[in-house]
Amino acid sequence: MPLDYLKDLNDVQQQAVTHLDGPVMVIAGPGSGKTRVLTYRIAHLITSGIYPEQILALTFTNKAAREMKERISRVVGDQARRVWAGTFHSIFARILRVEADRIGYPSNFTIYDTEDSKALITRIIKDMHLDKNNYNVSSVRARISSAKCNLITPKLYAKDEELMQIDRFYRRPMLYAIYDRYVSQCKMAGAMDFDDLLYKLFELLQTNPDEVVDKYRRRFAYLLVDEFQDTNYLQYAILKKLVKYEGSNENLCIVGDDAQSIYAFRGATIDNILNFRKDFPNLVTFKLEQNYRSTQFIVEAANEVIRYNKKQIQKKIWTDQIDGNKLKVIKSISDNEEGRRVADLIVEYKNRHHVSNNEIAILYRTNAQSRVFEEYLRRYNLPYKVFGGLSFYQRKEVKDLIAYLRLAVNPQDEEAIRRVINYPKRGMGNSSVDKISQFAAEKTITFWESLVQCPLPSRPEKIAKQFRQLIEEFGARAVEKNAYEVASYIAQSSGLIDALKSDNSLEGLSRLENLTALLDGIKEFIDYDEAEGPLLTEDKSLASYLQSIALLTDLDDETSFGDYITLMSVHSAKGLEFDAVFIVGLEENIFPSFQSLETQDGIDEERRLFYVAITRARKLLTLTYANSRYRFGKVVYNEPSRFLDEISEKLLDSTVPRRASASANHRARIQGSFRVPKGVETTQTVAPPVDFTPASPHQIHAGMKVKHLKFGIGKVISIDGYNDSKVATIFFNEVNNPQRRIMLKFAKLQIVED
């Protein structure tokens, strides 16, 4: 078969495609043709005489797997269908279907999704008569998932004193028992969850070294892994089982970019790609450094930012697209102004550069930041779609609070009552709600009136009356107080905030941030007038606020035609590209996130995330930040992100005054270019006092009181991770950001004796 397809590749790409045997690492910079190299390499294996069935290609998305097979088929035809190509989970499930009986599972085992797992955990917690507030289902599920991904069985979990100590601190000492029951009941039901598809395959290979391992080592003569920087400990352990053995040719090809490793919160570890050469000394490395996507200004900015990370595989991305626009930097007084200026600039780009809506993206660090941009895009009649989450006002936690606010203004709102009468949980079951509804229909009265008139058993009758009294109290406050005072009181008194705080998973934190963002929007409604700036206008009631957002919460169909502006978090944008990209909220404590600021590894991951954001842009890149924004109902003043100072002035189109150059390690926070108002505290770096003696990391345990030079006295809530990767969660006596996560390897903490 002629090798015409090789003509589509540059020299380095050709070398990566045609070097077939032994361990190969392809470091693929953004926009460098990674997918083409991976698919052409598989096609070249087939044209070189390797049977398609002997090729295993692992991806992280089904979309990537489909695209891979489609591209291979264009070169080799129907043979592409016989290649083992798919996600880790889909391929491993396929193997487990064949071999499941060896580990005590039926071949037709069920795969539990997240909701299935939660339902089972909920039932176990109930059966064990445990406090469901302490044993939050999402947190328990996340803990079990983490244990599996680190190959920790229920028995090992129970013997791990550090894990048990953390659980005791969080008042969930029986979590190991829940884990044990969960595993047992899954097996009894013939079911595996998503983590099991990895965990059980490793178990299969570990317990059947002769029959199974040898079988699949012979089956898969060549392994290829896409996005290798996103693999976790367990995935890499399985790969090594298949390719590292005596006499092996180690035909493993990994494709990835350490500079785009951004999923540590999901368990991915950058060490897999950074230390790959240690595991495979005969490794041959190819670096794809030509960027075909972006203009020179964008590529150079990305290079300048990522060079601040010390732990990386060195490369220099370049492009021959020398024409283009400098990066625009926008400084706003507030997040409200930031939203307006972004919308203004989008209109300008559409008119001046003829950029279509679907080639424009607004990228932010967390989904809670979408609110202000959604509001201005609506005001400007610009179609948009929120990815990686629901539209802000359609998120459950936001709708829950708005339902309470609606009831404070209009208690006859039946839909709002139904939404929150048993949330947070009060013990009002569905059967009681049905009786109330039926009684209202029979007596021709409202649901609200039926709450106190419907005959119910004593407990639900008491709950119904208490709920009605609660709403009446909210209504009385709504008459007397402004919208923010009422909303803040309702958020607390309804139990919504406590319910979200009890969930310490990433999902729970995100929901709490969304609720806080809604309250911030209400505070902004109180304090600001759009036309005049800071000004108290006449009507700041809750009713007025609800009327102002009525159209915003009523989603239309403007995004159904595909011509929309994209709003998403940077994590969700990985792998995508747009002509015009806005990276917003570039401030300390936001991007980089406050949770990352105390460890070098945390800052490095945030910088990689910024690198990913920059490299999504083809032609136009805009960086924005605000001097102040609402957080937790207060105006917060953040310094501009340190990442802005890592880009040379020659690459920027900006009238914002530059600050002093940032030091390479950025250990000290950079002072902002704005004047901090009187009364707002700033953190200064101070010399250690003579009596300050840092403790060794292994001496720090959960429950201890410690002292940090910058944040003062705090209590160690928990310690996660292992060995040099241990991270302590510490609660300090700070107003804005009391809870911090600090890597013990780098922390300087003094143990404080009570």
Cα–Cα distance measured from residue 452 to residue 443, given in angstroms and rounded to the nearest whole number: 13
99 close to 180: Cβ distance less than 8 angstroms = no
E strand or H helix that includes residue 134: none
What's the distance, CA 144 to chain centroid?
19
154 close to 183: Cβ distance less than 8 angstroms = yes
Nearest CA to 391 out of 526, 555, 245, 258 is that of 555
Cα–Cα distance measured from residue 395 to residue 382, given in angstroms and rounded to the nearest whole number: 21
Catalytic residue among 172, 315, 616, 618: 616
Assigned token pair, 362? 């607004």
Please report, for residues 114, 172, 189, 425, 470, the alpha-carbon distance to residue 121 in angstroms, rounded to integers and kept in the order given.
11, 14, 14, 17, 32
Active site residue 35: yes
Catalytic residue among 15, 35, 600, 739: 35
Report cis status (omega within 30 of 0) of the bond before 592: yes
Active site residue 726: no
Active site residue 260: yes
Report DSSP state, residue 644. Answer: G
Active site residue 227: yes
Torsion-angle region of 77 (φ positive above 0: left; ψ -120 to 50: alpha; else: beta): left
Rounded CA Rg of the chain = 28
577 close to 228: Cβ distance less than 8 angstroms = no
268 close to 260: Cβ distance less than 8 angstroms = no
Q: How, if at all, do strands 739-743 and 191-193 pair?
A: unpaired
The sign of the torsion formed by the CA atoms of 137, 139, 140, 145 equals: positive
Catalytic residue among 13, 59, 260, 595: 260
Nearest CA to 545 out of 393, 753, 740, 350 is that of 393
Catalytic residue among 34, 69, 574, 618: 34
748 close to 694: Cβ distance less than 8 angstroms = yes
Cα–Cα distance measured from residue 75 to residue 454, given in angstroms and rounded to the nearest whole number: 72
Catalytic residue among 195, 226, 485, 639: 226
Catalytic residue among 196, 227, 359, 374: 227
E strand or H helix that includes residue 698: none
Backbone angles phi, psi at 398, to 5 degrees: -70, -45
Inter-axis angle of helices 194-207 and 137-149, to 10 degrees?
30
Report H helices in 100-232.
114-127, 137-149, 154-159, 161-169, 175-188, 194-207, 214-219
Cα–Cα distance measured from residue 207 to residue 218, given in angstroms and rounded to the nearest whole number: 18
- Amino acid at position 406, single letter: R
Q: How far apart are the first and last CA of the chain?
A: 78
Buried b (16+ CB within 10 A) or exposed e, 169-191: bbebebbbebbbbbbeebbeeeb
Report DSSP state, residue 562. Answer: S
Cα–Cα distance measured from residue 147 to residue 163, given in angstroms and rounded to the nearest whole number: 10
E strand or H helix that includes residue 564: none
E strand or H helix that includes residue 519: helix 506-527
Active site residue 434: no
Is 253 strand, coil or helix? strand
Is 314 strand, coil or helix? coil
E strand or H helix that includes residue 714: strand 712-720
Assigned token pair, 639? 């310094």
Is 317 strand, coil or helix? coil
Please report, for residues 69, 208, 601, 610, 735, the alpha-carbon distance to residue 309 in angstroms, rounded to integers and kept in the order given.
35, 42, 9, 12, 31
Reported residue count of the chain is: 754
Beta bridge partners, 567, equal 362, 386
What's the distance, CA 580 to chain centroid?
23
The structure tokens 């300390």 sit at 588
Active site residue 453: no
Q: Which residues belong to the active site?
A: 34-35, 226-227, 260, 616
